[in-house]
């Protein structure tokens, strides 16, 4: 198995989005009321951006107008109200504001949205409350206000410390703005700062990649995300001269160099692309990859709760229309069968992997007991093939990615998809 040259796809759910049908809201609503969990994670989507990065293929709105923002915030609060009535007794262990660029909102709007969540949900005092940010949208005062509002973790979208590389990708920040933002966040009291890096960017070389990692380590953040650029048809990067992009061999070298250097500094590789200091694990994603339940608020948001895997409507006008009509904007998804949920837990659980992570992978016995299936009958041939190719290992009933397999996670995960899904997807 080789990593594709281009057009890889990130595996984050099962069945894949492409195969999800339209849903009947009344069936979902019935099951939500009848299957209230003890704990949940909460995701809130802010789809607004200042620019259209050439590699972004997600739903977004560039340079939104103020009335558009305010209408969307009102709809978010209405959706929060809807779910908080159903899950009034459920404890919220982590809250994550993602995007888009949540910090395109001013501090009062973003802090007010968090305040509404705190007012409506049972959020634990020790909850992780995180937000994504782009450096050019931040100021010292803004970060201070967000810390005062209750946020305690920030993820800075750095991508590269090379200004030319970022400019080519339509990123609007400079290295100086990254450094200022990091220092302002520290001064505001943030003790959990993540820096996002991308490898495989246009014009990126091994030298610029090393320089970016050196800059990261000089700042000493609590965690670092090292993600590979995904070249998708819907992103403008797919139309540029491929000679601007690092080839497969170079991308592999960048990835394993990052593992070596970040682990050397004492960070733990918790997922194939995430490195953290002990005690600073990204709890929202730990819950996600462990097949934990979560609610997504906002246009295009994903939820997994009460046995349902579903998406909210998008674009914005569709989301707002459903919110006005029903107070719930779920539009596509399904209640998963026992077999589908088992496969979901396997393909997501494989992301619990790292060269120095102490608890890796998926417990085959647990899957068998929980879902009443025979692991060997259903997945034995796939597993043996991956082991023979050196991509997976097995120890004491636990299967996990090998060091070689870490760079090919998405392709490996798809091997566990059902025959029917593979036929319809590929």
Distance of alpha carbon 285 from alpha carbon 263, whole angstroms: 20
Domain ranges of the chain: 17-289, 337-426
Place of tokens 């397999």: 405
The alpha carbon torsion through 357, 256, 99, 268 (nearest 10 deg) reads: 20
Burial class (CB in 10 A: 0-12, 13-18, 19+), 175: middle
In this prediction the pTM is 0.94
What distances in angstroms separate CA 382 from CA 256, 257, 338, 406, one per listed residue?
A: 25, 29, 20, 17
The string of pLDDT tens digits covering residues 149-191 is 999 999 999 999 999 988 877 778 899 999 999 999 999 999 9
Rg for the chain, CA atoms, rounded: 21
Find the angle CA(320)-CA(326)-CA(328) to the nearest 5 degrees: 70
256 sits in the region (left: phi over 0; alpha: psi -120 to 50; else beta) called alpha
Q: How many residues does the chain have?
A: 426
Q: Which residues pair with 324 in a beta bridge?
A: none
What's the pLDDT score for residue 60? 76
Closest to 184 in 3D by CA, of 219, 232, 229:
219
What's the pLDDT score for residue 62? 87
Q: Are 216 and 257 in contact (CB under 8 A)?
A: no
Closest to 407 in 3D by CA, of 275, 271, 281:
271
Q: How many CB atoms within 10 Å of residue 235?
A: 18
CATH code of the domain made up of 17-289 = 3.20.20.70
Q: Which residues pair with 312 in a beta bridge?
A: 330
State the DSSP H helix or E strand holding residue 304, giving kind and residue range, or none if neither.
strand 302-305
Q: Are 136 and 50 in contact (CB under 8 A)?
A: yes
Per-residue pLDDT of the chain (426 residues; tens, 9 = 90+): 544 433 447 899 999 999 999 999 999 999 999 999 999 999 999 999 887 666 566 677 888 999 999 999 999 999 999 999 999 999 999 999 999 999 999 999 999 999 999 999 999 999 999 999 999 999 999 999 999 999 999 999 999 999 998 887 777 889 999 999 999 999 999 999 999 999 999 899 999 999 999 999 999 999 999 999 875 554 455 456 566 788 999 999 999 999 999 999 999 999 999 999 999 999 999 999 999 999 999 999 999 999 999 999 999 999 999 999 888 999 999 999 999 999 999 999 999 999 999 888 999 999 999 999 999 999 999 999 999 999 999 999 999 999 999 999 999 999 999 999 999 987
First-to-final CA distance of the chain: 16
Q: How many CB atoms within 10 Å of residue 389?
A: 14
Distance of alpha carbon 80 from alpha carbon 296, whole angstroms: 10
Q: Are 346 and 400 in contact (CB under 8 A)?
A: no
Strands 274-276 and 223-228: antiparallel
Place of tokens 């797919």: 238
Which one of 1.10.10.920, 3.40.1080.10, 1.10.10.10, 1.20.150.20 gives the CATH number of domain 337-426?
1.10.10.920
Distance of alpha carbon 283 from alpha carbon 399, whole angstroms: 22
State the DSSP H helix or E strand holding residue 328, giving kind and residue range, or none if neither.
none
Residues 6+ apart with CB under 8 A from 155: 130, 131, 132, 133, 193, 194, 195, 196, 225
Q: Are 323 and 317 in contact (CB under 8 A)?
A: no
């Amino acid at each position: 198995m080789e990593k594709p040259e281009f057009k890889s796809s990130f595996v984050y759910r099962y069945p894949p989005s492409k195969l999800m049908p339209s849903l009947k809201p009344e069936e979902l609503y019935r099951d939500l009321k009848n299957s209230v969990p003890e704990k949940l994670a909460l995701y809130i989507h802010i789809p607004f951006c200042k620019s259209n990065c050439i590699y972004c293929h997600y739903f977004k709105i560039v340079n939104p107008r103020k009335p558009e923002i305010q209408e969307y915030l009102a709809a978010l609060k209405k959706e929060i109200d809807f779910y908080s009535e159903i899950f009034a007794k459920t404890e919220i262990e982590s809250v994550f504001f993602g995007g888009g660029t949540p910090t395109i909102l001013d501090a009062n709007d973003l802090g007010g949205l968090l305040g509404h969540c705190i007012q409506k949900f049972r959020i634990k005092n020790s909850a992780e409350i995180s937000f994504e940010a782009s450096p050019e949208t931040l100021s010292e005062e803004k970060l201070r206000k967000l810390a005062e509002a209750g946020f305690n973790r920030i993820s800075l979208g750095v991508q590269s410390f090379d200004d030319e590389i970022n400019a080519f990708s339509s990123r609007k920040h400079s290295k100086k703005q990254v450094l200022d933002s990091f220092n302002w966040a520290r001064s505001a009291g943030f003790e959990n700062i993540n820096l996002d890096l991308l490898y495989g960017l246009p014009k990126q070389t091994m030298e610029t990649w090393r320089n970016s990692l050196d800059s990261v380590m000089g700042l000493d953040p609590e965690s670092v995300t090292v993600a590979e650029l995904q070249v998708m048809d819907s992103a403008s990067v797919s139309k540029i001269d491929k000679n601007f992009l690092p080839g497969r061999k170079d991308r592999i070298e960048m990835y394993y160099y990052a593992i070596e250097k970040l682990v050397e500094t004492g960070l733990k590789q918790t997922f194939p692309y995430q490195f953290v200091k002990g005690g600073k694990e990204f709890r929202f994603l730990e819950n996600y990859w462990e097949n934990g339940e979560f609610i997504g608020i906002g246009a295009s948001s994903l939820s997994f709760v009460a046995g349902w895997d579903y998406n909210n409507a998008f674009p914005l006008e569709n989301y707002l229309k459903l919110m006005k009509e029903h107070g719930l904007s779920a539009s596509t998804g399904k209640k998963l069968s026992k077999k589908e949920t088992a496969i979901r837990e396997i393909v997501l659980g494989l992301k619990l992997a790292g060269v120095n992570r102490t608890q890796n992978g998926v417990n085959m016995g647990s899957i068998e007991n929980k879902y009443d299936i025979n692991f060997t009958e259903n997945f034995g041939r796939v597993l043996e093939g991956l082991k023979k190719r050196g991509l997976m290992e097995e120890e004491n009933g636990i299967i996990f990615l090998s060091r070689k397999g870490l760079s090919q996670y998405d392709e490996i995960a798809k091997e566990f998809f059902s025959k029917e899904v593979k036929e319809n997807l590929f």
